Chains A and B, each alone.
Chain A
């Protein structure tokens, strides 16, 4: 029932400029060959040609690789703590993919439901997500196996679909509806536009060819949880680096470190990874000393433990962990090769 709008592709620059007055607009940006969501420079819309997905997932815009939690000074009276300035500017992320938007919804479960993380929520609650449907998914993408469409999303505020020279704009949330109401220069979409969008969505859906079978996955994983030989074999080539976890849009582990130099310092939090042998070494020993236990943890956390807690698989099939893995360790191959049939 929501009315649909459209915009010419060549007018995207104008649209982003307009939104820039109200928001810090983040858009796909390529720097030194690395695609990220970065502050839009005010003119460049060339990303519409090259953008498939970012290397650094948009979680980094809410849960950055490192952030200062507070700074402190020490004097005779003790410590004086200063909280960081809250950036009053609201973020508008333009072009987020449905998989990554879903990932933020999954992160919300940890950072909002399980406990309230003020650093994450300060950025997250004020943000507007403008989704952009995929037209050219990677061969490593498998979102459709996880109930996600590469061109549709309920986790964004507005959703854009490529219909040739134009984008169809759909309002997904009230926030999105409000934004559209305040945005001038959009045209009403026709029935033909909507039909085209529907077709475009189906086309991109069919372009995702990598599949996994998630039916009964929790039970399957539970059944082979203790199969040490299997996990050892699967883990053999893993090099225990942090790529798959750091660049996973749903991984949220972090480490906290203090730095004190000459009576002043700060507390930082930064990404941590269950793939690291030293993970959780700070408070205690790492219970997963052997590599196969760490590899099992990553698989099971996403496909067994997270579903047990939040009733959702903590994987959105974005494929980053497959594309970027130094040894081509492929989670879809692993899930397909589990040594049990349930």
Chain B
């Protein structure tokens, strides 16, 4: 980090290709501004997101994860987002219990026509991440020997 520059969080977004990814696209083509903090990964459906992806992103040092899909009732595959909803809900709650700040795992419904909502979501999530600071969950000492012995 260069001196004088503000720390910028890194956010990974798993966006469903039918709705949220198209929404992000629309935000772009409409020349709407949203924070450049998000790195987008296109997934076929929000239901594709295994909670493991979220953990892996945090393990790699991303400051936050956003899972976004079609609004309930509008899934291209009928029920993928309903399944995602259960999965993301338990993941969010469970990670909070384990001690991961709730701001780090976010979820939203953004349709292909909601370019505006997409920019708002990214802005809000980024703001939340700036408030809690960098993800240092896994960054403590590199060695974690299985025994206490030296």
A residues bordering B, Cβ < 8 Å? Answer: 24, 26, 29, 31, 36-39, 56, 60-61, 64-68, 87, 89, 91, 261, 266, 270-271
Contacts and interface: CB of A to CB of B under 8 A. Distances in A.
B60 interface: yes
Contacts, number: 42
Across the A-B interface, give the 5 residue pairs with the lowest CB-CB distance, nearest first.
A65-B146, A38-B148, A60-B147, A61-B149, A38-B149
A65 B146 CA distance: 6
19 contacts: A26-B149, A26-B150, A29-B148, A36-B147, A36-B148, A38-B147, A38-B150, A39-B148, A39-B149, A56-B147, A60-B147, A61-B150, A64-B145, A64-B147, A66-B145, A87-B150, A91-B150, A261-B60, A270-B146
In the complex, which range does the number of interface residues on chain B fall in?
under 10
**Chain A's interface: helix, strand, loop or mixed, by majority?**
strand
**Chain B's interface: helix, strand, loop or mixed, by majority?**
loop
Contacts of A24: 150
Interface in B89-148: 142-143, 145-148
Contacts of A61: 147, 149-150
Contact of A68 (B143, B146, B147, B150): B143
B148 A65 contact: no
Nearest to B143: A68
Contacts of A91: 150
A60 B149 contact: yes
Interface centre among B60, B143, B146, B147 (most CB of A within 10 A): B147
Given A65-B146, A87-B150, 4 more contacts: A29-B148, A64-B146, A270-B146, A271-B146
B148 A31 contact: yes
Interface string B46-71: 00000000000000100000000000
Contacts of A270: 146
Contacts of A64: 145-147, 149
A82 to B, nearest CB: 13
Contacts of A66: 145-146
